[in-house]
Structure 1
């Protein structure tokens, strides 16, 4: 019986000393990028939007959490030059027809569930809040020691952004804008 107690105690000590505490890695917002692409019948537009802050939470080498805040007022169009309607499009994207950045200056993403697909590759279910509307999104996240990358497809109509949507308006013809927009995210820590 003494041997059993000694082994059990040794096992408890080993488990207690090898447990890994969570580590939070803050995103370097000056080196991280979010590129967006919005498509319409007659083409597409591209641009960027900046992170305000964010972090991933690790336990050992595994991602176990994350939260990010996006500065919606930083949104710019990169495929047009000054004088080609760049300022007009940026203003329209920030207006109430789209993201309403005067009222909703930030968007947030909070990880809710993370499943490891393979080492350094995760399927993340997160709550995305745009215009004070929160909906779940699912995406894959690839990580290295100092980076994380993902591609997301977001249905803007779930966030009450219906302008030019063929799902809500008839007879738009070549003025229709796709409901989905794409985000390509590269985070650096």
Structure 2
């Protein structure tokens, strides 16, 4: 009986030691969409438009306190302008969701997958990832700052890389003041 108890005790001790030394893949911290926001701003020759879009789901992955990955899905059906344009707001919202821009009916979500995160100070990282819009995936690089249970990021996205052609100088000539610049800004504030 003593021999069995000793063997059992050794198995438990070595089992805990082995488990303690086994590396973990990372801790996934789920983003809370209701406490997070994504704002956008697009530019044209004669001004700009701004709006919001909702985060559907996502997570950030950490190794201890260090950001190592993440994945996010944006609900393209929530794309809205916040410009005060009266009845024109609904028209612009519909146009942005149409095939001229983001083709939301065929592509109801967009996705960002973080491939690498390199810290350059205590809370900030240069992040490289794959951004998918309209079913087209391209690499992007941007900065993410993490403080406690919040993260912020600002991205410049070149819409021409995702087949968003409407009034783009990259696809059409002689647009004059109808031209819309290819790059738009995304500002992401996440709570997890």
TM-score, normalised with respect to structure 1: 0.89
1:141·1:150 contact (CA, 8 Å) conserved in 2?
yes
Cα distance in 1 between the residues matched to 2:45 and 2:60? 37
Cα distance in 2 between the residues matched to 1:133 and 1:21? 28
Q: How does 1:47-86 map to 2 (within 5 A)?
A: 47-83=51-87, 85-86=88-89
Q: 1:98 aligns with which of 101, 107, 131?
A: 101
Q: Using the TM superposition, give the Cα deviation of residue 82 of structure 1 relative to its aligned residue in structure 2, in angstroms.
A: 3.2
1:21·1:60 contact (CA, 8 Å) conserved in 2?
no
1:20·1:60 contact (CA, 8 Å) conserved in 2?
no
Q: Residue 38 of structure 1 corresponds to which residue in structure 2?
A: 42
Cα distance in 2 between the residues matched to 1:125 and 1:22? 18
Q: Residue 135 of structure 1 corresponds to which residue in structure 2?
A: 138
Cα distance in 1 between the residues matched to 2:143 and 2:114? 12
> Higher Cα Rg: structure 1 or 2?
2
1:116·1:123 contact (CA, 8 Å) conserved in 2?
yes
Cα distance in 2 between the residues matched to 1:61 and 1:20? 13
Give a deviation string over 1:103-133, Cα, whole Å, max 9, x none.
0000000011111111111111000000000
Cα distance in 2 between the residues matched to 1:66 and 1:93? 27
Matched, 1:175 2:178: yes
Q: How does 1:106-125 map to 2 (within 5 A)?
A: 106-125=109-128
The count of aligned residue pairs is 176
SS at match of 2:120: strand
SS at match of 2:35: coil
Cα distance in 2 between the residues matched to 1:179 and 1:71? 21
Q: Using the TM superposition, give the Cα deviation of residue 49 of structure 1 relative to its aligned residue in structure 2, in angstroms.
A: 0.2
Give a deviation string over 1:62-102, Cα, whole Å, max 9, x none.
0111000000000100012432x101100000000100000
Give a deviation string over 1:110-159, Cα, whole Å, max 9, x none.
01111111111111100000000000000010001110001100000000
Cα distance in 2 between the residues matched to 1:167 and 1:125? 25
Quote the RMSD (CA, aligned, Å): 1.7
